[in-house]
C-alpha cells in the first residue's frame, strides 16, 4: 500500500467516523427542537429529565462495544439511546433553568446554563473519565504483559 492509498483510507475512516455520529446528533437536535418542550408541558420537568438521564446511560453500551465490532449491532443502539437521553435531559434542564424567567432575562440565563453544561461535561467530566479509563487500561495491559509474552513480542518484531 503506497502513501497516497493510505491517505485515502485514512480520509475515508475520518468521514465514516463522522457519519457514525450523525444518527445520535440528529436525534438530539430533533428532541431539543421542540419534542422535549411538549413532554415538559405535558408531564412537568422531572419525568423527562429523569427518563432522559436513564436513557443517556446508553453511553455504557458504547463502552462495551468490541474492538472488532460492527456499527449497526455494536455502536448504533448505544448511540441512539444516548441521543434520546441527552436530547431529552439537556433540553429539560435548559427549560428548568429558563422557564420561570421573564423574556428579557431568558437569553442571558440560557447562555449561563449552556456554558455551565459545557464546563461540567467537558471541563470536569473528560479529565475524570479519561483518567479512569487510562488507569483501567493500564491495569489490563500490565496483567497481560509477562516475561513470556514480552519474549514472544520481541520474536515477532524481529
pLDDT in tens, 37-55: 899 999 999 999 999 989 8
What crossing angle do the helices spanning 46-55 and 36-43 adopt, rounded to 10°?
130
Q: What is the per-residue pLDDT for 61? A: 86
Do 119 and 71 fall within a single domain? Answer: no
Tell me: do 95 and 114 sit in the same domain: no
Q: Which 3 state secondary structure label does DSSP give 44? A: coil
Q: Please indicate, yes or no, whether residues 34 and 79 belong to a single structural domain of this protein.
A: yes
Grid coordinates belonging to 49: 429529565
Distance between CA atoms of 83 and 66, rounded to whole angstroms?
A: 20
As to burial, measured by CB atoms within 10 angstroms (0-12 exposed, 13-18 middle, 19+ buried), residue 53 is middle
Residues 35 and 88 occupy one common structural domain: yes
As a whole-number percent, the residues of the chain with pLDDT over 70 amount to 75
Say whether both 8 and 35 belong to one domain.
Answer: yes
Say yes or no: 62 and 18 in one domain.
Answer: yes
Domain count, the chain: 2
Band of residue 14 on the pLDDT scale cut at 50, 70, 90:
confident
3-state secondary structure 135-153: HHHHHHHHHHCCHHHHHHH
Backbone angle region of 27, left / alpha / beta, with phi > 0 → left and psi within -120 to 50 → alpha: alpha
- Judge if 126 and 52 occupy the same domain: no
> Same domain for 36 and 56?
yes
What pLDDT shows up at residue 39?
A: 92
pTM of the model: 0.68
Residue 98 and residue 155: Cα distance in Å, rounded?
63
Is the C-alpha dihedral spanning 72, 74, 76, 80 positive or negative?
A: positive
Q: What is the dihedral of CA 135, 59, 70, 139, to 10 degrees?
A: 10
pLDDT of residue 46: 93
Condensed to tens digits (0 to 9), the pLDDT of residues 112-137 reads 888 877 776 665 556 666 667 777 77
Question: Which residue range is the domain that position 142 belongs to?
Answer: 106-158
Q: What is the pLDDT of residue 128?
A: 64
Amino acid at each position: 500500500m503506497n502513501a497516497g492509498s493510505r491517505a485515502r483510507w485514512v480520509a475515508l475512516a475520518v468521514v465514516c467516523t463522522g457519519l457514525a455520529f450523525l444518527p445520535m446528533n440528529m436525534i438530539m437536535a430533533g428532541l431539543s427542537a421542540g419534542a422535549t418542550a411538549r413532554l415538559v408541558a405535558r408531564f412537568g420537568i422531572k419525568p423527562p429529565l429523569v427518563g432522559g438521564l436513564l436513557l443517556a446511560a446508553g453511553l455504557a453500551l458504547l463502552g462495551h462495544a468490541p474492538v472488532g465490532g460492527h456499527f449497526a449491532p455494536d455502536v448504533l443502539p448505544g448511540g441512539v439511546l444516548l441521543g434520546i437521553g441527552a436530547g431529552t435531559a439537556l433540553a429539560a434542564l435548559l427549560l428548568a433553568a429558563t422557564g420561570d424567567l421573564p423574556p428579557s432575562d431568558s437569553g442571558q440565563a440560557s447562555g449561563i446554563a449552556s456554558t455551565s453544561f459545557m464546563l461540567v461535561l467537558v471541563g470536569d467530566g473528560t479529565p475524570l473519565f479519561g483518567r479512569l479509563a487510562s488507569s483501567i487500561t493500564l491495569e489490563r495491559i500490565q496483567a497481560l504483559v509477562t516475561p513470556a509474552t514480552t519474549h514472544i513480542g520481541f520474536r515477532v518484531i524481529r
